[in-house]
Amino acid sequence: MASSWTGNRVRLRAVEPDDWTAFARYADDDGPRGGRLDLPRSAESYRAWAQEQAVVECDDDRFRLAVEATATGELVGTVGSHRTGPRSGWFELDITISAGHRRKGYATEAVVLLLRFMFAERRYQSAERE
């Protein structure tokens, strides 16, 4: 492993402004999430979101990272840390892998890389899935 952010299948990296096209495409492919159908979003909303994510500061260990397949360099999803409780040692995480890239081990490896960072570097002791 060349980096703490790279595994055999995936590399975790910052969201880049040009990632908006992949996120828009994946949202169209994924259909209803959790039994709920979301309203359609404009291309501009995806552009603005990706631009915002590209420059956002890490706030209290809350962040979002892009999940990229190491074999192809293709963006396959995101992983993030949310709702942190640094004093009590817990945080909440979420993982989203696009429909066409599921069941290939990407989510598992992305979560392992995130947990390794949060437990070893940030000293959290517990994680909950959003």
Q: What is the pLDDT along the chain (130 residues), one digit of tens a residue?
A: 468 899 999 999 999 999 999 988 887 666 555 566 778 889 999 999 999 999 988 777 999 999 999 999 999 999 999 888 888 899 999 999 999 999 999 999 999 999 999 999 999 888 888 7
What integer pLDDT is reported at residue 31 of this predicted model?
56
pLDDT score, position 34: 56
pLDDT at 93: 94
d(CA 23, CA 41): 11
pLDDT at residue 30 in the model:
60
pTM value surpassing 0.75: yes
Q: CB burial class (10 A; 0-12, 13-18, 19+) of residue 19?
A: buried
Residue 109: its pLDDT value, please?
A: 98
Three-state DSSP at 26 gives helix
Q: For position 130, what pLDDT does the model report? A: 75
- Residue given tokens 């960072």 in the structure block: 117
Give residues with Cβ within 8 angstroms of 78, minimum separation 6.
15, 64, 65, 66, 67, 94, 95, 96
d(C-alpha 102, C-alpha 43), whole Å: 24
